[in-house]
């Protein structure tokens, strides 16, 4: 068996590492054919040096150059669609259709093309010109970016093709991608497309690089290295916090998406009005993709009463009837089961599920748990631990005051949802609860489950810690996500011909600029 090469400084090279790993098909628990290397520190360092050289080469380039690469890359991915989605299916168990081929791959190429448009246009740099003082500022590339992708989106959040990659490149930064070890073959196919596009558009050799795996220590060294500009990470809270600590010590930006239980409040009037629809909507959202979404509705808060009992029963039936989805890996299954056990230890009662399912694949029964409001308030931290998978915890509050106290106990989350009736009977309670949840989540929703994350300029796929590392930034949505991989650069009394194009009197594209406080596409 040959170990697959890594992509360093424009070349596919054999790793010098002495250990390797295999991906496993979660649908049949069988190892896949290809072996992938653990990279020793020396290779990471080579990648850093090549990325630094690439950054020196591109830092004066117009956005058009990065746009051309991103668009060529999107095309290259599409020309490999069948190979990519077939292998992604083998590595993740996610269905080819509609998920991988009709949803996630188009989302991925769409993100790359939106990033290209933003790079070409240039408005994202927030060019600010103060003619009275002669001071001008813009956001500009921060330097090489390390991207750590998660297990649950092999394409749209892939370290070498997903949202962080697109945003980092649109800002003008080389990327060192650290592939997720559950789908290395998919990552390699994407990297081949990226490499081809980089060559076709004359990007420097170290602009796009890929390693598959390092030691935890070397990961921490990478993200805190002086040659690195910033990092993007999506994954487990535990591993993310190790990287965060390394970065914090040296003041290096890292944008993390760590975990989220995404509280959903279903208020009494909404249940009275449309109980069955809500049960079906919730069940679909929670079990989709075996619940393996960052925005999976992991906690539902309800007020005690007959309708709530009926709702719990309806969802429990739905959970029991639905075939449980395939989990991404044996590790996910193991952590999921451990997470459910932890919730039980914290006081949660199992309503349905919590048992092994189909043993031929990584899989566990759809699991519904519940606690009273009193129980939740007695261990709000333990009962907010994420069990990543096809499970949810119902919290049944005694009354409105207890709903309020429960809301106040939520930690930072990506999303928070409210379902209310259409006649206004829930409005007073909404007005009491929504402001509390608003401060604790990145995205607030009405009458809609949180699992869909549109690539919209107004999206916030972010939120207060511990959902992410900083409440001011989003991982999804262009141009906002691009600004993470940039630094603020001010120019004071700089001779006009030395100003970067975005800050010269003549508008170099048709970008929006803020001149003397007013947004305009005009020249100075």
Strands 175-178 and 145-148: parallel
447 interacts with a copy of itself by CB under 8 A? yes
Stretch of residues binding a copy of itself (CB under 8 A), selected from 208-216, 318-326, 342-350, 438-446: 438-446
**Distance of alpha carbon 176 from alpha carbon 7, whole angstroms:** 9
Of the candidates 306, 359, 458, 506, which one interacts with a copy of itself according to CB under 8 A?
458
- Interatomic CA distance for residues 297 and 105, integer angstroms: 24
Per-residue x/- marks for a copy of itself, 55-94, CB under 8 A?
Answer: -x--xx----------------------------------
Q: Is the CB of 184 or the CB of 463 nearer to a copy of itself?
A: 463
- Closer to a copy of itself at the Cβ: 39 or 138? 138
Please report whether residue 459 would count as binding a copy of itself according to CB under 8 A.
Answer: yes
Distances (CA, A) of 354 to 74, 83, 336, 365: 41, 36, 10, 6
Q: Which stretch binds a copy of itself (CB under 8 A): 87-95, 245-253, 322-330, 394-402?
A: 245-253
Q: Which stretch binds a copy of itself (CB under 8 A): 104-112, 159-167, 184-192, 489-497?
A: 489-497
DSSP letter assigned to residue 455: -
Q: Which is nearer to a copy of itself, 306 or 518 (CB)?
A: 518
Which x/- pattern, by CB under 8 A, does the window 103-142 give for a copy of itself?
-------------------------xxx-xx-xxx-x--x
Least distance to a copy of itself from the beta carbon of 214, Å? 23
Q: Which of 286, 294, 363, 417 is catalytic?
A: 294
- Rg (C-alpha) for the chain, rounded Å, is 24
Class of residue 435 by CB neighbours under 10 A (exposed 0-12, middle 13-18, buried 19+): exposed
Q: Do you find a cis peptide bond into 329, omega within 30 degrees of 0?
A: no
Question: What is the Cα 318 distance to its own chain's centre?
Answer: 28
294 catalytic residue (yes or no): yes
| DSSP-derived 3-state class of residue 75 | helix
444 contributes a contact to a copy of itself by CB under 8 A: yes
* Phi (first) and psi of residue 467, to 5 degrees: -65, -40
Please give the C-alpha separations between residue 165 and each of 216, 414, 506, in angstroms, as whole numbers. Answer: 21, 20, 30
| Calpha distance 268→248 (Å, rounded) | 44
Residue 388 CB, shortest distance to a copy of itself, in Å, is 20
Residue 468 has what DSSP assignment?
A: B
Q: Which of residues 504-523 bind a copy of itself (CB under 8 A)?
A: 512, 514, 517-519
Residue found by looking up tokens 């103060």 in the block? 130
User: Which member of 357, 443, 451, 502 binds a copy of itself (CB under 8 A)?
Assistant: 443
Pairing relation of β-strands 254-257 and 230-234? Answer: parallel
Residue 18's DSSP bridge partners are none
- Please report how close the Cβ of residue 392 comes to a copy of itself at its closest, in angstroms: 20
Site string for a copy of itself, 313-352 (x = CB under 8 A): ----------------------------------------
Beta bridge partners of 372: 396
Burial classification of residue 143, based on how many CB atoms lie within 10 Å of its CB (0-12 exposed, 13-18 middle, 19 or more buried): buried
User: Could you say whether residue 237 binds a copy of itself (CB under 8 A)?
Assistant: no
User: To the nearest whole angstrom, how small is the minimum distance from the Cβ of residue 227 to a copy of itself?
Assistant: 11
- For the record, the structure tokens of 138 come out as 């813009």
- Nearer to a copy of itself by Cβ, of 298 and 469: the residue is 469
Could you say whether residue 472 binds a copy of itself (CB under 8 A)? Answer: yes
Compute the least distance from the CB of residue 338 to a copy of itself, in Å.
24
Phi-psi region of 75 (alpha: psi -120 to 50; beta: other; left: phi over 0): alpha
Question: From CA 364, how far away is CA 353, in angstroms rounded?
Answer: 8
Within 400-419, which residues bind a copy of itself (CB under 8 A)?
412, 415
Closest to a copy of itself by CB, 1 vs 458, is 458
- Least distance (Å) from a copy of itself to the CB of residue 472? 6
Give catalytic residue positions.
257, 294
């Amino acid at each position: 068996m040959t170990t697959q090469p890594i992509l360093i400084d424009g070349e596919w090279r054999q790793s010098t590492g002495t250990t390797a790993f295999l991906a496993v098909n979660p649908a049949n628990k069988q190892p896949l054919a290809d072996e992938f290397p653990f990279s020793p520190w020396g290779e990471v360092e080579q990648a850093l040096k090549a990325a630094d050289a690439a950054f020196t080469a591109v830092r004066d380039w117009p956005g058009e150059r990065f746009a051309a690469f991103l668009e060529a890359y999107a095309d290259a991915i599409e020309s490999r669609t069948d190979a990519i989605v077939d292998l992604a299916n083998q590595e993740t168990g996610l269905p080819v259709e509609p998920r991988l081929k009709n949803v996630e791959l188009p989302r991925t190429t769409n993100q790359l093309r939106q990033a290209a448009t933003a790079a070409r246009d240039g408005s994202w740099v927030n060019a600010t010109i103060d003619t009275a003082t002669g001071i001008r500022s813009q956001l500009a590339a921060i330097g090489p970016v390390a991207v750590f992708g998660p297990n649950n989106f092999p394409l749209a959040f892939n370290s070498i093709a997903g949202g962080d990659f697109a945003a980092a490149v649109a800002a003008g930064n080389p990327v060192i991608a650290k592939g997720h070890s559950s789908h290395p073959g998919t990552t390699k196919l994407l990297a081949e497309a990226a490499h081809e596009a980089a060559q076709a558009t004359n990007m420097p050799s170290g602009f796009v690089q890929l390693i598959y795996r390092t030691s935890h220590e070397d990961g921490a060294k990478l993200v805190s290295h002086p040659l690195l500009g910033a990092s993007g990470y999506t994954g487990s809270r535990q591993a993310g916090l190790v990287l965060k600590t390394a970065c914090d010590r040296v003041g290096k930006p890292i944008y993390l998406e760590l975990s989220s239980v995404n509280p959903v409040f279903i208020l009494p009037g909404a249940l009275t009005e449309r109980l069955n629809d809500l049960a079906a909507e919730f069940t679909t959202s929670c079990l989709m993709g075996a619940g393996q979404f960052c925005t999976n509705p992991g906690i539902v808060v309800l007020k005690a009463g007959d309708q709530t009992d009926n709702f719990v029963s309806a969802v429990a039936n739905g959970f029991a009837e639905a075939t449980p989805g395939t989990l991404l890996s044996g590790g996910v299954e193991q952590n999921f089961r451990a997470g459910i056990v932890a919730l039980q230890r914290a006081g949660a009662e199992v309503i349905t599920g919590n048992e092994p399912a189909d043993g031929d694949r990584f899989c566990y029964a759809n699991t519904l748990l519940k606690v009273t409001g009193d129980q939740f308030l007695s261990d709000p931290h333990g009962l907010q631990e994420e069990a990543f998978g096809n499970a949810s915890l119902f919290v049944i509050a005694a009354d409105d005051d207890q709903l309020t106290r429960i809301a106040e106990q939520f930690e930072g989350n990506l999303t928070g949802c409210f379902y209310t009736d259409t006649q206004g009977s829930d409005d007073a309670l909404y007005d009491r609860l929504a402001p509390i949840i608003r401060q604790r989540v990145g995205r607030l929703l009405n009458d809609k489950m949180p699992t869909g994350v549109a690539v919209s300029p107004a999206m916030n796929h972010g939120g207060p810690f511990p959902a992410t590392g900083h409440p001011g930034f989003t991982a999804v949505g262009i141009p906002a996500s691009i600004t993470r991989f940039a630094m603020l650069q001010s120019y004071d009394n700089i001779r006009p011909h030395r100003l970067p194009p975005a800050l010269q009197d003549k508008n170099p594209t048709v970008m929006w600029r803020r001149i003397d406080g007013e947004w305009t596409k005009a020249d100075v």
